[in-house]
Amino acid sequence: MLADEMRACTRCAELAATRTQVVVGSGPSDARLVVVGEAPGAVEDETGTPFVGRSGQLLDRLLAEAGLSRTDVAVINTVKCRPPGNRVPSRAETANCRPWTTRQLEELRPSLVVTLGLSASSWFLGKTTLGAVRGIVHEVDGRRVLPTYHPAAALRGGPRGEAMTRLREDLALAVRLVS
């Protein structure tokens, strides 16, 4: 099974040595919407579930506002192991993990992928800026991809910040597109 193969992965020596566990992903295997983040943080590394810390709670709340329960959504990260100190994953780590993410997407076959933040968006679109691509549905390898802000950016900008407003709008669009 793919998840078991991922749990045994040691392609990144440092991450394999420092992780508590591989955070494979969450949600139903037939989810129409797949949300893709960057890498697990401390709480995710502890619990084994992606997006359960503050960013995850905001994601759940905004999805619920838009009419979709988190339990109906599949959530994965481009890198499955926590980088120590929550540093940004290196290019090598992202490349090492890429085949896992590709296989997950092949198995999930979602109707729409929402990418949270620049790392996840660049995973699909290549080098870009979030301002240029967010809020627009892109077609990548026959897949619909909707980039938006990372919830951590929305939290940093406060409840009435630009990132929060756009994230809310983009998630509402995502829910409409899969409903």
When asked if residue 147 is in the footprint of ligand URA (CB under 6 A), the reply is no
CB of residue 153 vs ligand URA: minimum separation in angstroms? Answer: 11
Please state, in angstroms and rounded to a whole number, the distance separating the CA atoms of residues 60 and 136.
Answer: 21
Helices (H), 67-161: 91-108, 117-125, 130-133, 151-157
Residue 24 φ then ψ, to 5°: -70, -45
- The single residue among 27, 41, 89, 110 that binds ligand URA, judged by CB under 6 A, is 41
CA distances from 60 to 21, 63, 168 (A): 23, 5, 11
CB of residue 1 vs ligand URA: minimum separation in angstroms? Answer: 21
Give the interface size with ligand URA as a residue count (CB under 6 A). Answer: 12
CB of residue 177 vs ligand URA: minimum separation in angstroms? Answer: 22
Please state, in angstroms and rounded to a whole number, the distance separating the CA atoms of residues 37 and 51.
Answer: 8
When asked if residue 50 is in the footprint of ligand URA (CB under 6 A), the reply is yes
Please state, in angstroms and rounded to a whole number, the distance separating the CA atoms of residues 73 and 64.
Answer: 11
CB of residue 169 vs ligand URA: minimum separation in angstroms? Answer: 20
When asked if residue 37 is in the footprint of ligand URA (CB under 6 A), the reply is yes
Do residues 130 and 114 lie in contact, with contact meaning Cβ atoms separated by under 8 Å? no
Task: Residue 175: count other Cβ atoms within 10 Å of its Cβ.
Answer: 22
**Cβ-based nearer residue to ligand URA, 23 or 112:** 23
**Cβ-based nearer residue to ligand URA, 38 or 170:** 38
**Cβ-based nearer residue to ligand URA, 53 or 110:** 53
Strand-pairing partners, residue 68, are none
- The single residue among 26, 55, 94, 101 that binds ligand URA, judged by CB under 6 A, is 55
> Which residues of the shown chain bind ligand URA in the complex (CB under 6 A)?
37-41, 44, 50-51, 53, 55-56, 77
